[in-house]
């Protein structure tokens, strides 16, 4: 079905050949990507748009040999009146700057990051899905791209942005069935769990695949220090509700990613009158919760239907009012259905 043109500005068209009603969460090659480079000891300067395609790297590049790289994820969403909105891109820029410092890399400034995202979205605006059909997922990358055989920071760095139209990460926002992993850990104190480093993700593939083979949706990891406290799902932060108190694992140990959606949901929940506790959460508190849900750029706000810890399975109210209310409020702000009183959205024009 072709989208109704009423949500487009005059003279604009949608990309051809896309079934907007059946978008998954995979790569659809679009028109343009953005690239900006800098050498060691210098600052990033002027970047440029180019046709989407392959990039060339030296075999000894730092990203290939030593995993010196970061990535971000954010979305552009179309409103009912045809505007295209970004959600808190400055927060992604700040998180990349923090991660770059940890990984001994130069980073684009907040202004450079946001401008590059806006240029990328504007150049690919025909790929932003119609209202209610999905979003344009934007993936900024910062990598050590220079030749670097010796162990240590490289001599050249590349900031790259590509994007793809996507639907829901979990089809239909299906309630998740989580396996609580108590032997393998995602992150350790003093490591890189608190930054969006590329090396954080492939080590969990095996655990995730094994859990999915047993019928679970995803994996929830425990802390490596004690093995008793919940930390993070593979691609999302976790929240639990007990009474009027919403709890989410604390960031203070540096093992949990400071999610932009996580931060936003905390503010919205406080506005609703809930108490919010960022704390150490024993797995027993998870098992005794009234409701549980996860948050992230890809998953947005997704209910958790059940968790299994060792031999114990606990089910939650998946029709819980809190998760749905938070989802509707957050996406309402992102898509312009609700007034943005916090200045979180940024129009691309």
Q: Where are the domains of the chain?
A: 32-168, 176-335
Q: Which residue has the higher pLDDT, 42 or 249?
A: 249
CATH of 176-335, one of 3.30.413.10, 3.20.10.10, 3.30.450.20, 3.30.1330.60: 3.20.10.10
Q: In the predicted model, what is the mean pLDDT of the chain?
A: 93
CA 169 remoteness from chain centre: 11
> CA 208, 213, 219 angle in degrees (round to 5)?
30
CA–CA separation, 349 and 164 (whole Å): 19
Give the confidence band of 1 by pLDDT, cuts at 50, 70, 90.
very low
Q: Is 116 left (phi over 0), alpha (psi -120 to 50) or beta?
A: alpha
- Cβ atoms of residues 154 and 118 within 8 Å: no
CA atoms of 15 and 30, how far apart (whole Å): 9
Check residues 4 and 253 and name the one with the higher pLDDT: 253
Query: Which one of 118, 196, 312, 325 is the catalytic residue?
Result: 196
Query: Which one-letter DSSP state was computed for residue 56?
Result: -
Of the candidates 295, 289, 312, 269, which has an alpha carbon nearest to the alpha carbon of residue 176? 295
Distance CA 196, CA 127 (A): 26
CATH class of 32-168: alpha beta
Q: Is the pLDDT of residue 313 over 80?
A: yes
Give 177's pLDDT tier (boundaries 50, 70, 90).
very high
d(CA 317, CA 97): 39
> Whose structure tokens read 């929940």?
269
Residue 342 annotated as catalytic: no
Residue 133, pLDDT > 50, answer: yes
């Amino acid at each position: 079905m072709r989208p109704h043109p009423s949500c487009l500005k005059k003279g604009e068209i949608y990309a051809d050949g896309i079934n907007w009603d059946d978008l998954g969460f995979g790569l659809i090659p679009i028109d343009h990507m953005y690239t900006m480079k800098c050498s060691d000891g210098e600052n990033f300067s002027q970047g440029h748009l180019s046709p989407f395609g392959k990039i060339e790297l030296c075999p000894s590049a730092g990203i290939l040999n030593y995993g010196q790289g970061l990535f971000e994820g954010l979305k552009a969403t179309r409103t009912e009146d045809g505007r295209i909105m970004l959600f808190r891109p400055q927060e992604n820029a700040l998180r990349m700057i923090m991660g770059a410092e940890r990984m001994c890399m130069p980073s684009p400034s907040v202004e450079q990051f946001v401008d590059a995202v806006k240029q990328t979205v504007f150049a690919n605006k025909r790929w932003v899905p119609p209202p209610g059909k999905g979003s344009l997922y934007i993936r900024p990358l910062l990598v050590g791209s220079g030749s670097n055989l010796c162990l240590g920071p490289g001599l050249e760095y590349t900031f790259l942005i590509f994007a793809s139209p996507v639907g829901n990460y979990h089809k239909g926002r299906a309630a998740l069935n989580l396996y609580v992993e108590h032997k393998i850990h995602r992150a350790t104190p003093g490591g890189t769990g608190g930054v969006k480093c590329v090396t954080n993700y492939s080590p969990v593939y095996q655990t995730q695949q094994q859990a999915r083979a047993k019928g679970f949706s995803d994996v929830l990891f425990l802390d490596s220090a004690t093995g008793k406290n919940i930390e993070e799902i593979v691609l999302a932060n976790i929240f639990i509700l007990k009474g009027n108190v919403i709890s989410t694992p604390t960031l203070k140990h540096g093992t949990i990613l400071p999610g932009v959606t996580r931060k936003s949901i905390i503010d919205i929940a406080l506005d609703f009158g809930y108490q919010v506790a960022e704390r150490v959460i024993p797995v027993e508190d998870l098992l005794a919760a009234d409701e549980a849900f996860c948050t992230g750029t890809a998953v947005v706000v997704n209910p958790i239907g059940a968790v299994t810890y060792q031999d114990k399975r606990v089910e939650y109210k998946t029709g819980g009012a809190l998760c749905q209310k938070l989802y509707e409020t957050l996406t309402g702000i992102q898509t312009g259905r609700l007034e943005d009183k916090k200045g979180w959205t940024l129009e691309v024009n």
